[in-house]
């Protein structure tokens, strides 16, 4: 089965906690704080692997987590950073943020990698908080939580030429004749259930990649038939070979129906360079249709060829012409990445307050990070948290919103009771 869509959850590693420690050595009185910082959490990357062709590896496993950082320790020893996690995807993978639908990356080149979740930084140990006025701090931080998100992966195969047409037009036969690809071929509709790729060699050394797309029928853009599942793969191609079935009752009506489906799915496809090819010229019906096809294509200023994929008639000339036309067309460029809306675009100091059930909810990048990294079991850390919220204006904003003593205030996963 051709698996070309997947939804996965990625979680970067949390930062390691900082430690509270003091030097305890003989003959070294008042050794001072020596708690080390925690290690950073591992990042999550998507990496293009040219040996892959589908997203099948994400069918049974959808949750992926990078390694978290190790806690710091005494003697100013910093914890080990978490190992990055690399997820391999095939060339042509489009990456979207699943919830917001934002486009993140277009992965097309072998070895290309993009970070989709950043690991949290390690929490600071008490040695980092020592100062001239606080020479023995009993204060540390938890590690920063790593980023997490749901991603939608969509594969669009990479090919120079896409062969389109009605079912049984001979697309798979043509691909098998001009390349080493061996697609399934049979005399019934929808034999091709997945796109097939083949490398076509022209004059033994000039090559291009051709894709056989499952047959389209009228209504494909709305979900009819099988071809609608693979219309997205045509978007990558630079040139279309529109194969007409010479044994059809009306090849020209088929040509018009397929073009309508392309335009409804993506208007740009209707303007894509196209060579119209009448197949099955070994049959009398196709020979009778050929003058009519030539006349119709001349009216639309489209190039027309007649071939027989079974006997090979006209195929070498068609492949040479296809290669020549490709040389005049610009190379397809990957879509530029857009900024991912995972964290708010405004200042990290910005926050919002809203009523939530029996309490209040405070949201904001920095305020949630501070809450997550504060170990409230340490009195100095809790006092520092209060000072930070006061400096940010969160205390004043809660008071103006109407918070009362005893109300529950939620910041991230923390639930705190409000007191004057």
The last residue of a domain, from among 123, 155, 187:
155
Specify if 183 maps to a domain: yes
Residue 186 scores a pLDDT above 70: no
Q: What is this structure's pTM?
A: 0.70
**Residues 175, 132 within the same domain:** no
**Residues 145, 181 within the same domain:** no
CATH number, domain at 64?
2.70.210.12
**Residues 204, 304 within the same domain:** yes
313's tokens: 């008639």
**Residues 110, 251 within the same domain:** no
**Residues 26, 79 within the same domain:** yes
Specify if 121 maps to a domain: yes
CA distance 230 to 235: 10
Cβ-proximal residues to 299 (8 Å cutoff; 6+ apart), any chain: none
Strand order from edge to edge, sheet including 44-48? 85-89, 44-48, 113-117
**Residues 43, 135 within the same domain:** yes
**Residues 263, 306 within the same domain:** yes
Q: What is the pLDDT of residues 54-102, one digit of tens each?
A: 788 898 899 999 999 999 998 899 999 999 999 999 888 889 988 888 8
pLDDT at 231: 65
The last residue of a domain, from among 327, 362, 397:
327
- Residue 322 · residue 163 · CB < 8 Å: no
Specify if 380 maps to a domain: yes
Q: How many domains does the chain have?
A: 3
CB neighbour burial string for 24-55, b if at least 16 within 10 angstroms, e if fewer: eeeeeeeeebbbbbbbbbbbbbbebbeebbbb
**Residues 166, 312 within the same domain:** yes
**Residues 2, 130 within the same domain:** yes
Query: Average pLDDT for residues 335-356, to the nearest whole number?
Result: 65
**Residues 313, 357 within the same domain:** no
> Reduced to 3 states, what is the DSSP secondary structure of residue 247?
coil
Query: Average pLDDT for residues 288-316, to the nearest whole number?
Result: 91
Average of per-residue pLDDT values in the chain? 83
Query: Average pLDDT for residues 120-136, to the nearest whole number?
Result: 91
Residue with more model confidence, 228 or 188: 228
CA distance 85 to 78: 21
CATH number, domain at 313?
3.40.50.300
CB neighbour burial string for 198-217, b if at least 16 within 10 angstroms, e if fewer: bebebeeeeebbbbbbbbbb
CA distance 181 to 198: 5
The Cβ of residue 158 has, within 10 Å, a number of other Cβ atoms equal to 18
Q: What is the pLDDT of residues 15-69, one digit of tens each?
A: 999 999 998 877 777 778 999 999 999 999 999 998 887 788 898 899 999 999 9
Specify if 27 maps to a domain: yes
Residue 184 scores a pLDDT above 60: no
pLDDT at 219: 45
**Residues 98, 217 within the same domain:** no
Structural domain containing residue 293: 161-327
Question: CA gyration radius for the chain?
Answer: 31
Q: Quick one: which H or E segment has residue 201? A: strand 196-202
Residue ranges in 161-272 assigned as alpha helix (H): 171-178, 231-234, 251-265, 267-270
The last residue of a domain, from among 277, 294, 327:
327
Specify if 108 maps to a domain: yes
Please, which pLDDT band fits residue 272 given cuts at 50, 70 and 90?
confident
Specify if 238 maps to a domain: yes
CA distance 318 to 321: 5
Specify if 337 maps to a domain: no
- Residue 282 · residue 239 · CB < 8 Å: no
């Amino acid at each position: 089965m051709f698996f070309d869509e997947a939804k996965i959850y990625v979680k970067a590693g949390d930062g390691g906690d900082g430690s509270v420690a003091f030097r305890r050595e003989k003959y070294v009185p008042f050794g001072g704080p020596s708690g080390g910082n925690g290690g950073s959490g591992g990042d999550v990357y998507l990496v293009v692997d040219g040996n892959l062709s589908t997203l099948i590896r994400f069918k049974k496993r959808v949750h992926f987590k990078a390694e978290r950082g190790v806690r710091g320790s005494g003697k100013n020893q910093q914890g080990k950073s978490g190992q990055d996690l690399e997820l391999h995807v095939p060339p042509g993978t489009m990456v979207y943020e699943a919830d917001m639908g934002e486009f993140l990356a277009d992965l097309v080149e072998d070895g290309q990698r993009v970070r989709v979740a950043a690991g949290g930084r390690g929490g600071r140990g008490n040695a980092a908080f020592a100062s001239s006025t606080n020479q023995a701090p009993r204060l540390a931080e938890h590690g920063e939580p790593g980023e997490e998100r749901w991603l939608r992966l969509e594969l669009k195969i990479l090919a120079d030429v896409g062969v389109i047409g009605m079912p049984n037009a001979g697309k798979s036969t043509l691909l098998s004749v001009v390349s080493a690809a061996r697609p399934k071929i049979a005399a019934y509709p929808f034999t091709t259930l997945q796109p097939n790729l083949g490398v076509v060699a022209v004059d033994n050394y000039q090559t291009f990649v051709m894709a056989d797309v499952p047959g389209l029928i009228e209504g494909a853009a709305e979900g009819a038939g099988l071809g609608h599942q693979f219309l997205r793969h045509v978007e990558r191609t630079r040139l279309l070979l529109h194969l007409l079935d010479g044994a059809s009752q009306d090849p020209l009506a088929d040509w018009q129906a397929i073009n309508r489906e392309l335009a409804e799915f993506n208007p740009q496809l209707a303007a894509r360079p196209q060579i119209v090819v009448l197949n099955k010229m070994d049959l009398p019906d196709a020979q009778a249709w050929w003058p009519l096809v030539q006349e119709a294509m001349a009216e639309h200023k489209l190039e027309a060829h007649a071939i027989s994929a079974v006997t090979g008639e006209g195929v070498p000339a068609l492949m040479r012409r296809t290669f020549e036309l490709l040389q005049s067309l610009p190379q397809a460029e990957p879509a530029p990445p857009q900024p991912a809306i995972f964290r708010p675009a405004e200042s990290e100091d910005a926050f919002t307050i809203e009523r939530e059930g029996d309490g209040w909810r405070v949201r904001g990048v920095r305020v949630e990070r501070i809450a997550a990294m504060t170990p409230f079991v340490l009195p100095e850390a809790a006092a520092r948290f209060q000072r930070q919220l006061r400096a940010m204006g969160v205390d004043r904003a809660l008071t103006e919103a109407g918070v009362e003593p005893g109300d529950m205030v939620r910041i991230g996963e923390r639930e705190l009771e409000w007191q004057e």
